[in-house]
């Protein structure tokens, strides 16, 4: 706006009329809306979308404006006295449009035929993940989608110690209750209005005993694309192939017919990727799916930091060989130290630096390899903390909120949390839902992270806007705007004490009311409560949250006099302010 001021106060007033709220017949004070002033008139700076980041790309093709709907049931809430902590939200400074594919999750073949489970399906539909990955995880590299184990797939393959063991193949056509069929995966996508991302079997390109194993494996993947018949746009080649734990990472060279080395390397995977991509794209064209997108597997951090289980120079060699043939880059991250009994402080310190470091590493890898930056998909993420039921706790819900916010700040394009259901293992369970083995909990009972992710998506707009916090390092703010005219912020408290926060909106003409939900843990299980309370309402059972989460009354207060809320210890507030 500075360049325009030289043309005089008349132009400033004109801009104020055009860009500010037209319903006001009198000037609004700077305290009301921020922005700049000239002659007593407040000028609201307009929103300007930044250029589409290369790390987001085509995943934002599905972006759509959002309209905020005032909750049907409201409860007037008293305002706490303002303290020294302020979250300043600048409505005019757009960080990024919000990709709907950041809220995804992983399904897997050992969940059972859960499409027949009404409680799970109701909650999953309400969660609205928008994208579901399948078959997901390491099983992808021993998964044969058509239900036929090829004749050249050996009965035994080598594990990470080089010992031959039963291959344990999974088949996509099994109707058994203990598995999840490919047909039902497609049905779940349809019922939940979700898009699919499919991980094809790369391990078979390594352990296959035919004359050309990579070509045979690529052909099988292409046949899946033909069978899919345009239902799926997003595909990836293999799962974590850089890791020694993955099928095909190590092979028995005595059974190999095309001279592959015992241990996989990035150059070989990059070459095989091109074989897969070529076959799959041709198959897609045959069925009219000309817009298929294929992802390549990269590491999320410098391999030199993990010399025992990660292939060195993986990203450099993969990208140098694959060149610009991938459509997007795939990374995974479990944020916390592996299998450590981490405290809440350790867990909640990871989202910011780990997410930023991951994106920087991928960008550096592409630059060093001389290839184009492509969209980045984090299609597995969670925490590795064990020993105190961290994975099923309220703290993990708070962590999930921060990861979503940090991914938006760092302009990730797509993400899928791991996973919908897993196994209890005394609380070391990544599952968003109880698969039926959690003591004292009903089958498909939702864990705390479900509720945090549910409210994040409902109370976060279609654009992330700038926000900063002063007064405490404990409070994190992730702000957004709705095309329908509201502004909001998600406030996270990482500490063990409650904090009162004042929200100050700049370049925004406020309306009359603000609405919010407060989520926090209970008093069970020490620092890692297995419960979540929503505006004070908790679960009826021993874990999870209230079953009536979708109809709980929202807190509401008047904007006049300021916006202040209490953000509970290791909890979050999801807040929306009306615009004029």
pLDDT digits (tens, 9 = 90+) for 364-416: 999 999 999 999 999 999 999 999 999 999 999 999 999 999 999 999 999 99
Supply 338's token pair: 């592996």
Q: What are phi and psi of 254, to 5 degrees?
A: -65, -25
Residue labelled with tokens 């063990």:
496
* Cα separation, 536 vs 549, whole angstroms: 11
Residue 43's pLDDT band (boundaries 50, 70, 90)? confident
Round the average pLDDT of the chain to a whole number and report it. Answer: 93
pLDDT the model gives residue 290: 86
Count of CB atoms within 10 A of residue 337's CB?
14
Going from the C-alpha of 455 to that of each of 62, 445, 460, the distances in angstroms are 21, 17, 8
Instruction: Give the pLDDT band of residue 16 (cuts 50, 70, 90).
Output: very low
Question: Are the beta carbons of 124 and 192 closer than 8 angstroms?
Answer: yes
Distance from C-alpha of 88 to C-alpha of 502, rounded to nearest angstrom: 8
The 10s digit of each residue's pLDDT in 452-478 is 999 999 999 999 999 999 999 999 999
Read off the tokens for 525.
């299980």
The whole-number average pLDDT for the span 418-446 is 97
Residue ranges of domains in the chain, CATH in brackets: 2-46 (no CATH), 62-97+462-579 (2.60.40.1180), 130-326 (no CATH)
Q: Provide the percentage of residues in the chain whose pLDDT is more than 90.
A: 91
For residue 197, give the nearest of 241, 233, 145 by alpha carbon: 233
Tell me the pLDDT band of 136, cut-offs 50, 70 and 90.
Answer: confident
21, with CB counted inside 10 A (0-12, 13-18, 19+), is middle
Average pLDDT over residues 44-71: 96
The sign one gets for the Cα dihedral 130, 514, 78, 469 is positive
The residue among 450, 441, 442, 443 whose CA lies nearest residue 524 is: 441
Q: What is the reported pTM?
A: 0.92
Each residue of 516-556: pLDDT tens digit?
A: 999 999 999 999 999 999 999 999 999 999 999 999 999 99
Could you tell me which residues come within 8 angstroms of residue 216 by beta carbon, excluding any fewer than 6 positions away?
150, 152, 204, 205, 208, 210
Of 192, 89, 81, 179, which Cα lies nearest the Cα of 139? 179
Reported as type and span, the H/E element at residue 452 is helix 448-458
- Mean pLDDT, residues 7-24: 34
Of the given ranges (33-47, 460-474, 560-574), which has the lowest mean pLDDT?
33-47
* Whether pLDDT at 7 is above 90: no
Strands 414-417 and 104-106: parallel
- pLDDT level of residue 30 (50, 70, 90 thresholds): very low
Indicate if the alpha-carbon torsion angle 108, 110, 115, 121 is positive or negative. negative
- What tokens does 18 get? 């055009």
Total Cβ atoms within 10 A of residue 526: 10
Q: 114 pLDDT exceeds 90?
A: yes
Helix H or strand E segment including 157: strand 156-158
Is 435's pLDDT higher than 80? yes
pLDDT at 185 over 60: yes
Strands (E) across 343-498 are located at 376-381, 414-417, 463-470, 475-481, 487-493
User: Is the pLDDT higher at 45 or at 2?
Assistant: 45
- What burial letters (b/e) apply to 350-388, b meaning 16+ CB within 10 Å? bbbebbeebbebbeebbeebebeebbbbbbbbbbbbbeb
With H, G, I as helix, E, B as strand and everything else as coil, classify residue 418.
coil
pLDDT of residue 41: 52
pLDDT tens figures, 221-278: 999 999 999 999 999 999 999 999 999 999 999 999 999 999 999 999 999 999 999 9
- pLDDT tens profile 476-523: 999 999 999 999 999 999 999 999 999 999 999 999 999 999 999 999
């Amino acid at each position: 706006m500075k360049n325009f001021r030289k043309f005089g106060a008349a132009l400033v007033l004109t801009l104020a009329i055009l860009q500010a709220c037209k319903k006001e017949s009198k000037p609004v004070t700077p305290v009301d809306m921020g922005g700049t002033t000239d002659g007593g008139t407040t000028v609201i700076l307009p929103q300007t979308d930044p250029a589409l980041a290369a790390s987001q790309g085509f995943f934002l093709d599905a972006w759509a404006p959002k309209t905020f709907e005032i909750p049907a049931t409201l409860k007037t809430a008293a305002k706490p006295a303002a303290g020294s902590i302020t979250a300043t939200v600048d409505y005019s400074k757009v960080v990024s449009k919000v990709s709907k594919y950041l809220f995804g999750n992983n399904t897997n073949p050992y969940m059972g035929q859960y499409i027949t489970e009404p409680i799970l399906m109701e909650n999953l539909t309400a969660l609205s993940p928008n994208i579901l990955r399948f078959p997901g995880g390491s099983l992808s590299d021993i998964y044969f989608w058509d239900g036929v184990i090829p004749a050249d797939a050996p009965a035994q393959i080598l594990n990470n110690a080089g010992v031959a063991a039963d291959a344990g193949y999974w088949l996509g056509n099994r109707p058994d209750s203990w598995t999840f069929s490919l047909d039902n995966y497609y049905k779940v996508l349809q019922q939940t209005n979700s898009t699919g991302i499919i991980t094809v079997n790369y391990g078979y390109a390594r352990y296959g005993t035919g004359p050309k194993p990579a070509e045979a494996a690529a052909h099988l993947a292409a046949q899946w694309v033909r069978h899919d018949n345009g239902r799926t746009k997003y595909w990836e080649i293999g799962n974590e192939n850089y890791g020694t734990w993955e099928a095909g990472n190590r092979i028995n060279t005595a059974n190999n017919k095309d001279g592959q080395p015992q241990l996989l390397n990035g150059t070989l995977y990059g070459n095989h990727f091109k074989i897969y991509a070529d076959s799959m794209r041709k198959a897609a064209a045959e069925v009219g799916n000309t817009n298929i997108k294929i992802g390549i597997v990269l590491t999320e951090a410098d391999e030199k930091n993990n010399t025992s289980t990660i292939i060195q120079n993986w990203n450099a060699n993969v990208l140098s060989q694959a060149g610009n043939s991938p459509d997007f880059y795939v990374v995974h991250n479990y944020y916390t130290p592996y299998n450590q009994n981490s405290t809440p402080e350790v867990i909640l310190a990871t989202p910011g630096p780990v997410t930023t470091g991951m994106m920087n590493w991928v960008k550096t890898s592409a630059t060093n390899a001389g290839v184009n930056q492509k969209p980045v998909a984090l299609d597995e993420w969670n925490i590795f903390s064990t020993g105190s039921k961290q994975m099923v706790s309220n703290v993990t819900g708070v962590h999930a909120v921060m990861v979503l916010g940090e991914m938006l700040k760092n302009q990730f394009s797509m993400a899928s949390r791991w996973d919908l259901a897993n196994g209890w293992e005394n609380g070391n369970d990544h599952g968003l839902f109880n698969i039926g083995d959690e003591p004292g909990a009903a089958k498909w009972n939702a864990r705390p992270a479900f509720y945090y992710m549910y409210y994040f998506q409902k109370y976060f707009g279609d654009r992330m806007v700038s926000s900063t916090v002063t007064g405490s390092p404990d409070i994190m703010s992730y702000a957004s705007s709705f095309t329908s005219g509201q502004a909001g912020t998600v406030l996270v408290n990482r500490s063990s004490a409650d904090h009162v926060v004042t929200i100050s909106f700049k370049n925004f003409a406020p309306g009359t009311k603000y609405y919010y939900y407060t989520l926090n843990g209970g008093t069970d299980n020490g620092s890692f409560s297995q419960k979540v309370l929503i505006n004070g309402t908790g679960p009826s059972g021993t874990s999870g949250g209230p079953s009536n989460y979708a109809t709980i009354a929202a807190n509401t207060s008047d904007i006049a006099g300021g916006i202040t809320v209490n953000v509970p210890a290791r909890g979050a507030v999801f807040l929306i302010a009306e615009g004029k």
